[in-house]
Amino acid sequence: MALWGGRFAEDANKDVALFTESVSYDKRLYKYDIKGSKVHSAMLASCGIIPESTAKKIAVELDRIEKRIDSGDFTFTAELEDIHMHIESALIDALGDEGARVHTARSRNDQVNLDVRLYLRDEITSIIDGINDLMRALVDAADRHFGIILPGFTHLQHAQPVLFSHHLLAYVEMFARDAERLTDCRKRMNMLPLGAGALAGTTLPVNREYVCEKLGFDYVSRNSMDTVADRDFMCELLGGLSIFCMHVSRISEDIILWSSQEFGFIELGDAFCTGSSLMPQKKNPDIAEIARGKTGRVYGDLVAMLTLCKGLPLTYNRDLQEDKEPVFDAVDTVRMLLKVFPPMIATMSVNRDNMLASASDPALMATDVAEKLVELGVPFRHAHHRVGAFVKWCREHNCELNAVTLEEMQETIPEATEEFLNLFSPEDSVKRREITGATGPKNVSMQIDFWKKKLS
């Protein structure tokens, strides 16, 4: 008979047990469940609700149970539903009546909320560490490849030359925001739910502040009904992880394009690519492709979670048991991704010549010409129009923008001077952009220093 079996005359149907169990996946919470139960029983004893001696025995036995689970010497069965009941039941098996006191002033509704918060708190910390590793790998690459120029794109069309380091640091900015978002999510998550009971608190004189402090939470939840019904912290985490994956997917796309024969900008290390079972010549950027693919999976986890919560009346509903698999899946996916992505970035070698050749079309400097005209006092819209006419003239005469004489240039740009004929080197073009945030080498090198310091 189940631990809750008092009012039941029959055992659950076997398939019902399989349908309703969660232990197959929530067993990963066991250490947190044990940690919570130890503090909970110590608190019960300190409030005179259970004897001190019982709390001590419970703590010792919980440690023993933890070791048994660690070593695989513990049987999980669908009949005992979830990890909480497995541990409580093992405790009762070992301690009898004394074990039967652990669930005093507690419900699985606040207990599961506690366990997941404790677990995710740790996971978020590791994920943030991983994101910092990824940022470091990108900053190192930006440093190593400093000075290399490639075309920056808009609409996937050549736009203006930029430093490769500037391009890499754009992703560092994104990942920094991701880490910040997760830090923020962790702050809100760090609240003690235990004591909310099933939904209305307890009649017993518990001390929630004691538990809060011992478990390292920042504050005690204020509303027991909100507490047992709340899964915002999981939605927020999945939202944060989805945005992170969106960024990973974007850098993956860049990496995939750059490694293609058409671009030929980079090559990844052999250990981070795979071959084709049929075409012997192939070396594919599979990690980036799979990362791009896994992004869809994490979005799926977020949507599953949001859909799960939508429309649930207060307070706890068993639907909420379905919260764990999407969250675990997203956490596992992101952690795996963070294991392979930073070392993959570290193996990236760059074809400087291909990048520069691709950025050397003088048309990429058309904006520089228009801005030179602005310096001479021409209103920008007119300048834009003149340079547009100049580009058209060059196309019609089948010549590059830098292969004209001054007289020819002056046909469409009457204000042009000798100086205008020398505006077409990509190196000079990036050097002309030293305002804050732009791709100028001084600015970018300052950014590299900024991130190095911040991430050290």
Catalytically active residues are: 155, 276
* Binding status of residue 118 toward ligand ARG by CB under 6 A: no
Strand pairing category for 266-267 and 349-350: antiparallel
Shortest distance in whole angstroms from residue 113 CB to ligand ARG: 9
> How far apart are alpha carbons 429 and 431 in whole angstroms?
5
The answer to the question of residue 112 lying near ligand ARG (CB under 6 A) is yes
DSSP-derived pairing of the beta strands 191-192 and 149-154: unpaired
Structure tokens at 69: 């689970």
Residues 6+ apart with CB under 8 A from 111: 33, 36, 84, 194
Token couple for 311: 């429309």
**CB 113 within 8 Å of CB 228:** yes
Length of the chain: 456
Closest to ligand ARG by CB, 243 vs 320, is 320
For ligand ARG, the binding residue among 38, 106, 108, 247 (CB under 6 A) is 108
Of 107-115, 162-170, 277-285, 409-417: span binding ligand ARG (CB under 6 A): 107-115
Degrees (nearest 5) of the Cα angle 314, 320, 321? 150
The greatest distance separating any two alpha carbons of the chain, rounded to the nearest whole angstrom, comes to 101
Decide if residue 82 touches ligand ARG (CB under 6 A): yes
CB 79 within 8 A of CB 57: no
Ranges within 299-328 binding ligand ARG (CB under 6 A): 318, 320-321
Contact segment (CB under 6 A) with ligand ARG among 47-55, 106-114, 259-267, 400-408 equals 106-114
Residue 403 and residue 422: Cα distance in Å, rounded? Answer: 11
Q: Which one, 112 or 120, has the nearer CB to ligand ARG?
A: 112
Stretch that binds ligand ARG, among 104-112, 171-179, 336-344, 417-425 (CB under 6 A): 104-112
The residue from 37, 41, 109, 439 that contacts ligand ARG (CB under 6 A) is 109
> Are 275 and 283 spatial neighbours (Cβ–Cβ below 8 Å)?
yes
Q: Which of residues 26-45 bind ligand ARG (CB under 6 A)?
A: 26
Closest distance between ligand ARG and the C-beta of residue 252, in Å?
34
Q: Tell me how far, at minimum, the Cβ of 14 lies from ligand ARG, in Å.
A: 18
As measured in angstroms, the least distance from the Cβ of 82 to ligand ARG is 4
In this structure, what token pair is assigned to residue 123?
Answer: 């996971």
Q: Which residues bind ligand ARG (CB under 6 A)?
A: 22, 26, 82, 108-109, 112, 318, 320-321
